[in-house]
Amino acid sequence: MTDLDDPALLREYAAHNSEAAFAELVSRRVGFVYSAALRQVRDPHLAGEITQAVFIILAQKAARISDKTVLTGWLFKTTRFAALAQIRDRARQTARMAIIEKEFQMQNQFQAAANDEIWNQMSPLLDEALARLGEKDRQAVLLRFFENKSLAEVGNKLGTGEDTARKRVARALEKLRKYFSKRGVVSTAAIIAGAISANSVQAAPALLAKTVTAAAIVKGSIAAASTLTLVNGALKLMAWSKVKFTITTGTLILLAATTGCVVLNICKTYVASPPIHEGFNFEDGVLSWKAQTYPGSEACSAVSISSEQAKDGQYSLKMSLNLIGGDVHNSAGEAWAYLNPASQPENLTGRTITAWIYAPVAAGSEEGNPSSWQLFVKDDQWHSEYGSLSNIVEGQWTQLSLTVGLGKPDTGSVDQQFDSSRVWVVGVRVLAGGAPAKYEGPVYVDDVRW
C-alpha cells in the first residue's frame, strides 16, 4: 500500500473497505491532524479525541471525496471544525462566559514544545491565520511547508505551473506575516516559512494511529460517547459553513431621513460563516454579506465578489449602486453581514470596527452635496448605530471606522434602544447626498475588522 498516493488509498478503502489502505492513510496523516488539533485545544487528550473524530468523518465520507481534493486541505478544515466543536461543547457545559474566556487564555498560555521563540509566539495563532487565507493559498502553504512538497509538486497538485505555485506561496506567506505582525509577532516571510516547516507537524502518540484506525473503520461505533458527540458537532459546523439560511423578519419600522417613519417588509438571505472570526477579507467568497433591499428601491441591487479592485489579497466585496439624492427609496444603499449567525450576538462595546472602501469615480456628485459613506452596526432587535459620514474620495482606498457604544458620532446617528453588548450585524452604507446628486456604479469594500 505504501506505493499508492492518498487518492488511490481513499478509493481502495471506499471501494473495498480495505483496512490496510485506511491504516496506511492514517499513518501518513495522523501526525498532521494531531498537531493541528493540539495547537488549537492545547490538551494532548483532547487533541487525540479530535484526531479520532476527523478520521471517523473521513471514513464516513470516503466515497464522496473527489480525487481532485487536496487531502491535506480537507483534513485541515475538518480538524478545525472538530476543534471548534470541542471548544464550544466544553463552553456550553459550564454555561459561564468566564470558562469560555479561560479556554482561549489557555491557548495563549500553552508553551509549544519547540524552543524557537518565533514559533512559540506563532503557534497559537497559526491555525486561525491559515483559516483566513483563501482556499488555494492555504492549500499551497499546507503542501509546501506541512508536506514539504517542492514548488513543482505544489503546482502539479493545484493544477498550475511551478512559477504560479511560487507566486501563490510567496503571496500567502506575506499575508501570514501581516496577520502575525498585527498581533505582535514581528518576523519575515522567510523566517515564518522556516518555522512552519520545522515545527508544524509533531509525532503523534505511538498508539494513536492504531486507536484512530480501529474507531474509524467501524465508523465510530466503538468510539467513546464524547468522541461521537465531537463527530456530530464537527459535522454540524461543516454543514453550517455551506448551508443557506433564510430569515423573514416580519415588519420593521425604520426612520427615513426626510419623510419620517416608513413601514417596510424585509426578507434577508445569508450564508453562514464559521462561528469564530473577527472580520471579513473576502478571499473565500461573499460569506454572509447581503444587499439591503426595500420595496421600490434599487439603491444597492446586489453584492458580489470581485477581483477588479482589492486592498489586500485578490478579492473584495463589490456593491452595485444606483443612488439618487433626495429620493427616499434610493438615496442610500447598504450591504451588511451577520457577525456570527451560528451563535449569539457579540459584545462589541468599545470595539473599533474598520473597513476599507473604494469608488472608481465620485459619479454625479454635486459641489456642496457630496456622496458619502459610513459604517453601521445593528443589535439583535435591529436597533442601529451609524458611524460618522466621510466624503467619497475618487479612485483611492479610504478607511472607515466606528467605535461601538460611545454614543452619537458627529455626523452619524444611534438609536436610543441600541444595545452594544448584543451586536448582530455590521454593514456599509453609501449615500448620494442631497438632490440632484447621484451615484451610479460600483463601490468596493475590503478588510472589514473589529
Band (2; pLDDT cuts 50, 70, 90): confident
258 CA to centre of own chain: 38
With a cut of 80, say whether residue 402 has pLDDT above it: yes
Q: Cβ(309)–Cβ(277) under 8 Å?
A: no
Domains of the chain in start order, with CATH, are 6-240 (no CATH), 244-449 (2.60.120.260)
Confidence of residue 286 (pLDDT cuts 50, 70, 90): low
| Highest mean predicted confidence (pLDDT) among 146-155, 340-349, 355-364 | 146-155
Q: Which residues contact 195 (CB under 8 A, 6 or more apart)?
A: 116, 118, 119, 122, 187
299-320 per-position pLDDT tens digit:
888 888 888 888 877 788 888 8
User: Residue 298 carries which side chain, given as an amino acid letter?
Assistant: E
Amino acid 36: pLDDT: 92
d(CA 142, CA 95): 36
Amino acid at 198: A
Query: Which residue, 349, 47, 323, is CA-closest to 205?
Result: 47
Average pLDDT of the residues in 225-233: 74
Euclidean distance between CA atoms 394 and 26, whole angstroms: 55
Mean pLDDT on 244-248:
31
Q: Is there a contact between 340 and 291 (Cβ–Cβ < 8 Å)?
A: no
DSSP alpha helix (H) spans, 277-414: none
What is the radius of gyration, based on Cα positions, of the chain? 24
What is residue 276's predicted lDDT score, i.e. its pLDDT? Answer: 38
Q: For 118-132, 190-204, 229-243, 400-414, which range has the lowest pLDDT when averaged over its residues? A: 229-243
More confident residue, 163 or 224: 163
**pLDDT, tens only, 137-146:** 999 999 999 9
253 confidence band (pLDDT: 50, 70, 90)? very low
Distance CA 86, CA 82 (A): 6
Higher-confidence position of 16 and 120: 16
Q: CB neighbours (10 Å) of residue 362?
A: 17
Enumerate residues 6+ apart whose C-beta is below 8 A from 334.
291, 292, 299, 300, 376, 427, 428, 429, 430
CA distances 109 to 87, 180, 202, Å, are: 16, 17, 19
**Among the listed residues 201, 199, 130, 198, the one whose alpha carbon sits nearest the alpha carbon of residue 169:** 130
Instruction: List pLDDT tens digits, range 38-88.
Output: 998 888 989 999 999 999 999 999 999 988 899 999 999 999 999 988 887
Owner of C-alpha cell 472602501: 357
* pLDDT value at residue 303: 85
Q: In this structure, which amino acid lies at residue 71?
A: L
Q: How far apart are CA 177 and CA 41, in angstroms?
A: 23
pLDDT over 70 (residue 366): no
Top mean-pLDDT range of 25-34, 173-182, 198-207, 290-299 = 25-34
* Cα separation, 282 vs 134, whole angstroms: 8
- Give the model's pLDDT for residue 266: 29
Cell of 294: 426595500
Residue 420's pLDDT is 87
Residue 117 has pLDDT above 90, yes or no: no
- For 394, residues 6+ apart whose C-beta sits below 8 A from its C-beta are 359, 360, 361, 362
Instruction: Compute the half-sphere exposure of residue 21: CA atoms within 13 Å on the CB side of its CA.
Output: 18
Res. 29: pLDDT tops 90: yes
Contacts within 8 Å (CB) and 24+ apart, 379-383 = 379/345, 379/418, 379/419, 379/420, 379/422, 379/423, 379/424, 380/345, 380/419, 380/422, 380/424, 381/417, 381/419, 381/422, 382/249, 382/252, 383/415, 383/417, 383/418, 383/419
